[in-house]
Structure 1
Amino acid sequence: MLGIFFSLIGLGLLAGIAVFAYLYTTTEVPQPEKFALAEKTTVYYADGTTAIGSYAEQNRSIISCEGLPDYIGNAIVASENRTFYTDKGLDLKGIARAFINNVTKGTRQGGSTITQQYAERYYMGETTSYVGKAREAIVAIKIAQTESKDEVLCNYMNTIYLGRNSYGIQAAAKAYFNKDAKDLTLSEAAMIAGIIPSPSTWDPADNADMAKSRFKRVLNIMQEDGYITAKQHTDAKFPQTAAVAQQNEYAGPNGYLLDMVRRELVQSKAFTKEDLDTGGYKIITTIDKSKQDLMQSIGDTRLDDMPESLQIGGIALDPKTGEVLSVYAGSDYLSKQLNNADQAVFEPGSTMKPFALLGAAQSGVSFDTLFNGNSHQHFTGLDQEVNNALENNWGNINLYQATANSVNTVFMNVNEHLTPKRTAAIAHEAGIQGDIDENSMYNVLGINALTVWDLAQGHSTIANNGVKSTLHMVSKVLDSNNKDMYNAPSKGTKVFDANDCALVQKAMQGTTTYGTAAGTSNMLGRPIAGKSGTANDEMASSFVGYTPSMMNVWAIWNPDDKGNPQAVPAFSGYGISSTGYPAHLFQEFMAQALQGTEVEQFPTAKDNGKIGGPDGTWGLGKGQSSGLSNNTNKQSTEDAQKQAEQDAQQKAAEEEAKKQQQAQEFAQQCLANPSYSTECPNYPGTTTGGDGNNGNNGNNPGNTGGNNGNNTGNDNGNSGGPGGNTGTNGVTQ
């Protein structure tokens, strides 16, 4: 019986040897697994150093091991495979020990060398079957015969999972100690090496006792095997690890940026989604971090009575290059993936009028041509009359005034001459990709839904003097060796005449001086071209504005729970009209974004068109009974500007009166209580002058009477300031 038993064992061994020999002959070292070579791709701001986030199937950064301290590799050898430098790829004792454990205890125990683990991770993928393990062992033997120990160890360190979603020593160094692998200390390397068998459960953040025990084990073996001295062992202290990072890279506004960059590169056909997830690229964007932070802060601001449903979208860009500098797409990508900058749509309203205005310039129409700017007009093919905002009647005005004040009836007249098809074609030539109704006269009033990005693309071509530069967020893409893999398009396409665009820019400057956004240019201290827009039934509002080198577009809209548009109510003193919140957002952003930049002038425009157009039929027409000439039209523009200046002066006078009232109240407080403020002229210890004389007839200044006694009289009959008597009908000024 015993003989039969040994015979069976012998046959089993022979069969095993035969199978192993067959597998050895037929097994070749395969190509590396894709996941083993996969590296995360990092997306950076325009500075090329500040990260926005990354794309990754696995968080891995493959590095060269030449610059790593020896103790990093030695710590891993001490932890995982003490015979690594002497074995032939297999540890037969370890395999036998694992086999006995698996048979007697029914549990799986690893007996793999570093070379075997490397073969599994780098070439074959994870396997637990005996045949799979046999092939793994054979591949390990062949690797040991063809690759140096340094190569094997380096590739192992670059592929092994080390916890905290980090693959490879570089990612682990970042995850545990916020540093590069080359900067790890002996203690830090020993800690990471110690938890290799079970990094998720032995993470010091979850199981400090086990992590410390493994740390000591690694150091003991390193000293025993001569990798470190006794002093190094004694000096090594268990390191403090960084807190576990729980943040999702797509949380907050950065998720929008990452998604936009990915879509841009995939749509360019230069990369696939898988390429970006595994290629280890360095993507440099055009996004200026300071401007992005500024735009995000402005867009995130929610006024007290602003509807929760109100949506805001924004973009800033360089019209000369098409580089997007910042976007406002939303506050949190994880909460709402619909991007308010380039996906959500709204009706742009009158911000579409400049494309028809450009058509008038192309048709040879002088912008001094007079049009009927009154409400209650009828146009061919329309059943309903057309009105202006608030049903205003502007009288006979030219195209400059009509643009500045966004007069609907004038632009309907322009569109009637151009045809809606031509107006739509101009907008598309400028770069707008959204649908525009070619058969509707109302397309000039912005009835077709667009995105903020689309609107900015169209206007940027006019701002760039007729050269269309495709808007983009990616500047370039580098591989892991810093080799250029992709560069943004550098040349624009000439689509419009530069002078025609300059005429439109000139007309749009009226918007920010005396038009719907009056005072904007003065506030920013430079020429600004702008155009406001309000959707039909007050469903949305937008503003487009720019200098020659920076464009900023904002829009607001108010969808219901199902995404259907609804009216935007007035809030915090801002009406839905085109003079409202988007223009305020523009002013707030540009006031800070333009700080310290050179004041630029727009190109000089030459109005070579004819009054009434080449055929004399545009507007009121050449030789109409009005008899108005170019000079008369210019005078009309000057009158409008003069009125705007008078309004501004009146506003300034009102503000000054308010300041004087505050000064008077302060003076009265000081008179009642000299200790009210150290600024009081009669503050204890301060000598006060005599009385000022009375103001005459309520309009002339009183004489100075000691300190602060120069008070001007007016018809309000209030007292003079400290040191002055009550003037006849006088008030402090």
Structure 2
Amino acid sequence: MGRADARRAQARDTRQAGKSGGIRRLFTWKKLLGTFFGIILLGMGAFGALYLYVDVPEANAMAKRQSNVYQYSDGTVLARTGKGVNRQIVNLSEVPEKVQHSFVAAENKTFYDDQGVDLKGTTRALFNTLSGKGKQGGSTITQQYVKNYYLTQDPTVSRKLKELVIALKVDRDRSKDEILAGYINTAYYGRGASGIQAAAQAYYGVDAKELNVAQGAYLASLLQAPSQYDWATATDTGKRLVKERWAYTLDNMVEMGWLEESERAGLEFPVPQKPKPAQGREGQAGYLVEAANKELEKQGVTEADREAGGWTFTLTVDKKRQDELEKAVDAQLESKLDREGDEIDATVQAGATSVDPETGEVVALYGGEDYVKHYFSNATRQDYQPASTFKPLVLAAALENGSTTQDGSLIGLNTVYDGTSRRPVVGSDTPFAPQNEDDRSYGPISVQKAMNSSVNSVFAQMIVDVTPAAVKETALAVGVPDKNFPERPAVSLGTMNASTWDMAGVYATLANHGQKVTPHILRSAEHRDRVIDPDEPKREQAVSRASADTVTQALTGVVDAGSGRAADTSAYDAAGKTGTAEENKSAWFAGYTPELATVVALFGEKDGGGKQVSLTGTANSGRASGGGFPARIWADYTLGALGGGSDARFDLEDVERGEAPAPPTPSQTPSEEPAPSQAPTTPSEEPSETPSETPSETPSSSSPPPSPSATTPPVTPPSKSPELPPSPDDDTQPGERPGSNAAASDQ
């Protein structure tokens, strides 16, 4: 090699050595360590700034949203309502301690000792998010609570960083119990259930406070993959995985000292119940919820309060009796109707209310065929006339006021009136000559027998004897709601408006010996921040015990030997009254036993309640009287509601028998006595299906006829047409309608 080549090689070596030394000088260990700590310091500074910048926000709307729970008197869930979230927040104290520990064991064993974050898990989650692998686990219970309660489920870096900061602050400011309670109340468990209370109901049909440790471990295991681990829909792999996680959870509890090894060994996997449809407002539930909401408004729980959610409303309704009422309507009415193929059957609506006469609690209610099909409650509607179910109140008013007949005879059960159809009332400024059903005339008839057969002419004269004003006062006192009904004789036929709810209260008052009974359906309303126990209704004496018990005595005759015999059975002591409104637009049976007061009604309704129509022809049965379908529904329900019968008997005191006038001389016998050919074989109110059971309403030889002054004094024929009761769809007032002596067929 020449000198020139040597110099070039030496220069090349020098350049290479310079490069290597420069790299070494640039990446010394000191510089690398400094850079590392610089990055750490920069990150800490950035995190510090982030910590100062990010505040704990308000809870997101979905996390706070709860459902309301309506439940029967025994705690069984009737319905849940709310804006799309099935959640009911419970205090941690309501969750068994071992169930609490099962969630910690499943998700975050160090929960009680950590600072609210898992840096390793969070770093892994951030890396996976940045690398596109999606959302990953590893968060603490505190972090999951923050995500559910304050943030969203979005798998973004910014959300994860906020979660980390907020979790640190929440752990600093709140107790572990508060955090754990928030976590189990906000988590989603599948089956539409958010929160542990809804989950306990959805999977095991119990409240959270009733969960055992095995069930709690399953619910805790679910949170990892609710849809995959739901036993009812899980694949074989899903079932294997959830059982493994269930065992893992219990093993962790043993490790942490929260569960004895011996108890763990004895636990078996708790297979959940099959999923059930969400409890909404279908069937009778909607009617019950609607009735409860009306009372809640009176108690100060507004619609806005209910929309906020979180309430538990306990009703007075007895689930067993509610089921019996629904079965009775189905068996005695709905099964016989052809709603799709028959125009008349399509118009029939049934309603009923059943009340405990001692407490006023509504124990069962029937609002219609289905709330989602017919939103208007037939139990509480007040647009139909209660018809002859009002007649007992005419008698009650007569007894309460010590009223007498036109000749001065004290009115009681034995008092004899003239039962001639179309007989003009005596002593009234408003002419009225009501027609009995089928235009039947009875001649001299006792008040008891007139009640049995619902004789219009007798009660029209009685209300004149008592005065319509006095009858109205008594009616309002016992609970009839319509304060504006006219003070005219036609009111004796029940021409005001009332609901089955109203009349159930009226008849419960009679059953309660005249002490006022106000029906109510709400037992309690509970919220985490507010508890309402409704005030007990006042129990003043609406009418005297003697008056109420005398009416009860009269109404036992209606059931035993009158128009209400379809409700009669030896299984219980019963009193009741039938009612059929003008033109057969409604049919009623109102009755009671010593333990239960129930009113059942049918309504003819067309065009969604806009038009009242006749019930005649219902189920091809002819005239739908109160002694037909309503009485049979009443009897079927009452028998079931009383568990097949009852030994309770009416305790009646001071029953007013009234005065029976002395027999008249032959020349005084009322000329209006009908000839045999005038009297049809069917008495008023008796169902056409059972004509052979019709009792005779002709007074027996032991019943003296009335004196002329008592029932049929000489009168001058009225100068204008007798008063007619108004039809529900006719605004013409009584006494103002055209026509002669043709009056209502109301019975």
TM-score (norm 1): 0.69
How far did residue 546 of structure 1 move? 2.0
How far did residue 227 of structure 1 move? 4.0
CA distance in 1, matches of 2:625, 2:276: 46
CA distance in 2, matches of 1:218, 1:456: 54
CA distance in 2, matches of 1:543, 1:600: 19
Residue 252, structure 1, aligned to residue 283, structure 2: yes
How far did residue 545 of structure 1 move? 1.6
How far did residue 389 of structure 1 move? 0.6
CA distance in 1, matches of 2:312, 2:571: 42
- Whether the aligned pair in 1 keeps the contact of 2:615 and 2:624 (CA below 8 Å) is yes
CA distance in 1, matches of 2:634, 2:126: 72
Residue 429, structure 1, aligned to residue 477, structure 2: yes
Q: In structure 1, what residue type is equivalent to 2:649?
A: V
Match of 1:52 in 2: 78
How far did residue 466 of structure 1 move? 2.9
Structure 2: where are the runs of 5+ without partners?
Answer: 1-25, 27-31, 339-344, 404-409, 671-682, 696-747
How far did residue 387 of structure 1 move? 0.9
CA distance in 2, matches of 1:529, 1:225: 63
Query: Are the structure 2 counterparts of residues 258 and 277 from structure 1 closer, same or farther at C-alpha, using a change threshold of 3 Å?
Result: farther
> For 2:553, which of 499, 503, 506 is the aligned residue?
506
Query: Are the structure 2 counterparts of residues 442 and 69 from structure 1 closer, same or farther at C-alpha, using a change threshold of 3 Å?
Result: closer
How do 1:583-662 and structure 2 match up within 5 A?
Answer: 583-594=631-642, 595-606=645-656, 626=668
How far did residue 343 of structure 1 move? 3.1
How far did residue 558 of structure 1 move? 2.4
Query: Are the structure 2 counterparts of residues 207 and 425 from structure 1 closer, same or farther at C-alpha, using a change threshold of 3 Å?
Result: same
- Whether the aligned pair in 1 keeps the contact of 2:358 and 2:512 (CA below 8 Å) is yes
CA distance in 2, matches of 1:291, 1:13: 72
Query: Are the structure 2 counterparts of residues 72 and 108 from structure 1 closer, same or farther at C-alpha, using a change threshold of 3 Å?
Result: closer
Query: Are the structure 2 counterparts of residues 192 and 543 from structure 1 closer, same or farther at C-alpha, using a change threshold of 3 Å?
Result: closer
Q: In structure 1, what residue type is equivalent to 2:604?
A: N
Match of 1:339 in 2: 377
CA distance in 1, matches of 2:261, 2:571: 71
- Whether the aligned pair in 2 keeps the contact of 1:74 and 1:227 (CA below 8 Å) is no
CA distance in 2, matches of 1:551, 1:128: 61
> For 2:598, which of 552, 559, 564 is the aligned residue?
552
Match of 1:269 in 2: 300
Residue 156, structure 1, aligned to residue 183, structure 2: yes
Instruction: Give the 3-state SS of the residue equivalent to 2:192 in structure 1.
Output: coil
Query: Are the structure 2 counterparts of residues 472 and 273 from structure 1 closer, same or farther at C-alpha, using a change threshold of 3 Å?
Result: farther
Match of 1:138 in 2: 165
- Whether the aligned pair in 2 keeps the contact of 1:338 and 1:344 (CA below 8 Å) is no
Instruction: Give the 3-state SS of the residue equivalent to 2:374 in structure 1.
Output: coil
Query: Are the structure 2 counterparts of residues 274 and 382 from structure 1 closer, same or farther at C-alpha, using a change threshold of 3 Å?
Result: same
Match of 1:367 in 2: 411
How far did residue 427 of structure 1 move? 2.4
> For 1:196, which of 203, 216, 223 is the aligned residue?
223
How do 1:705-720 and structure 2 match up within 5 A?
Answer: none
Residue 297, structure 1, aligned to residue 327, structure 2: yes
Residue 330, structure 1, aligned to residue 330, structure 2: no
Residue 408, structure 1, aligned to residue 456, structure 2: yes
> For 1:464, which of 512, 529, 538 is the aligned residue?
512
- Farther-moved stretch of structure 1 (383-392 vs 293-302): 383-392
Residue 113, structure 1, aligned to residue 140, structure 2: yes
How far did residue 351 of structure 1 move? 1.0
Match of 2:613 in 1: 566
Query: Are the structure 2 counterparts of residues 263 and 410 from structure 1 closer, same or farther at C-alpha, using a change threshold of 3 Å?
Result: same
The size of the alignment, in residue pairs, is: 614
- Whether the aligned pair in 1 keeps the contact of 2:573 and 2:648 (CA below 8 Å) is no
How far did residue 327 of structure 1 move? 2.2
CA distance in 2, matches of 1:516, 1:494: 29
CA distance in 1, matches of 2:328, 2:253: 61
Instruction: Give the 3-state SS of the residue equivalent to 2:605 in structure 1.
Output: coil
What are the superposed Cα offsets for residues 266-305 of structure 1, whole Å, 9 maximum, x if unpaired?
Answer: 332257664597445462x433333322222111113546
How far did residue 393 of structure 1 move? 1.2
CA distance in 1, matches of 2:510, 2:251: 73
CA distance in 1, matches of 2:251, 2:508: 67
- Farther-moved stretch of structure 1 (213-222 vs 200-209): 213-222
- Whether the aligned pair in 2 keeps the contact of 1:457 and 1:470 (CA below 8 Å) is yes
Instruction: Give the 3-state SS of the residue equivalent to 1:152 in structure 2.
Output: helix
- Whether the aligned pair in 1 keeps the contact of 2:507 and 2:592 (CA below 8 Å) is no
Match of 1:317 in 2: 355
How do 1:412-491 and structure 2 match up within 5 A?
Answer: 412-416=460-464, 420=468, 422-434=470-482, 436-438=484-486, 441-477=489-525, 485-487=532-534, 489=536, 491=538
CA distance in 2, matches of 1:543, 1:184: 46
- Whether the aligned pair in 2 keeps the contact of 1:114 and 1:153 (CA below 8 Å) is yes
Match of 2:443 in 1: 395
Match of 2:390 in 1: 352
- Farther-moved stretch of structure 1 (147-156 vs 160-169): 147-156
Query: Are the structure 2 counterparts of residues 17 and 291 from structure 1 closer, same or farther at C-alpha, using a change threshold of 3 Å?
Result: same
Match of 1:721 in 2: none
Instruction: Give the 3-state SS of the residue equivalent to 1:118 in structure 2.
Output: helix
Match of 1:665 in 2: none
How far did residue 108 of structure 1 move? 6.1
How far did residue 31 of structure 1 move? 7.5
TM-score (norm 2): 0.68
Instruction: Give the 3-state SS of the residue equivalent to 2:438 in structure 1.
Output: helix
Instruction: Give the 3-state SS of the residue equivalent to 1:390 in structure 2.
Output: helix
Instruction: Give the 3-state SS of the residue equivalent to 1:68 in structure 2.
Output: helix
How far did residue 167 of structure 1 move? 2.6
Query: Are the structure 2 counterparts of residues 273 and 344 from structure 1 closer, same or farther at C-alpha, using a change threshold of 3 Å?
Result: farther
Query: Are the structure 2 counterparts of residues 454 and 161 from structure 1 closer, same or farther at C-alpha, using a change threshold of 3 Å?
Result: same
Identity %: 27
What are the superposed Cα offsets for residues 668-707 of structure 1, whole Å, 9 maximum, x if unpaired?
Answer: xxxxxxxxxxxxxxxxxxxxxxxxxxxxxxxxxxxxxxxx
Instruction: Give the 3-state SS of the residue equivalent to 1:397 in structure 2.
Output: strand
- Whether the aligned pair in 1 keeps the contact of 2:590 and 2:600 (CA below 8 Å) is yes
Query: Are the structure 2 counterparts of residues 103 and 471 from structure 1 closer, same or farther at C-alpha, using a change threshold of 3 Å?
Result: same
CA distance in 2, matches of 1:221, 1:320: 52
What are the superposed Cα offsets for residues 506-528 of structure 1, whole Å, 9 maximum, x if unpaired?
Answer: 3333323443235866x336653
Match of 1:67 in 2: 97
- Whether the aligned pair in 1 keeps the contact of 2:559 and 2:566 (CA below 8 Å) is yes
Query: Are the structure 2 counterparts of residues 515 and 40 from structure 1 closer, same or farther at C-alpha, using a change threshold of 3 Å?
Result: same
Q: In structure 1, what residue type is equivalent to 2:459?
A: F
Instruction: Give the 3-state SS of the residue equivalent to 1:442 in structure 2.
Output: helix
Query: Are the structure 2 counterparts of residues 149 and 471 from structure 1 closer, same or farther at C-alpha, using a change threshold of 3 Å?
Result: closer
What are the superposed Cα offsets for residues 604-625 of structure 1, whole Å, 9 maximum, x if unpaired?
Answer: 224679989xxxxxxx9x9999
CA distance in 2, matches of 1:143, 1:164: 30
CA distance in 1, matches of 2:337, 2:184: 56
CA distance in 1, matches of 2:305, 2:370: 25
Residue 516, structure 1, aligned to residue 543, structure 2: no
- Whether the aligned pair in 2 keeps the contact of 1:348 and 1:449 (CA below 8 Å) is yes
- Whether the aligned pair in 2 keeps the contact of 1:466 and 1:496 (CA below 8 Å) is yes
Query: Are the structure 2 counterparts of residues 469 and 214 from structure 1 closer, same or farther at C-alpha, using a change threshold of 3 Å?
Result: closer
Match of 2:589 in 1: 543
- Whether the aligned pair in 1 keeps the contact of 2:419 and 2:444 (CA below 8 Å) is yes
Flag the structure with more relative contact order, 1 or 2, with Cα contacts below 8 A and sequence separation at least 6. 2
Match of 2:22 in 1: none
- Whether the aligned pair in 1 keeps the contact of 2:313 and 2:526 (CA below 8 Å) is yes
What are the superposed Cα offsets for residues 398-417 of structure 1, whole Å, 9 maximum, x if unpaired?
Answer: 43333232121232233445
CA distance in 2, matches of 1:186, 1:476: 30
Match of 2:8 in 1: none
Query: Are the structure 2 counterparts of residues 83 and 447 from structure 1 closer, same or farther at C-alpha, using a change threshold of 3 Å?
Result: same
CA distance in 1, matches of 2:53, 2:170: 15
Two-structure CA RMSD over aligned residues (Å): 4.9
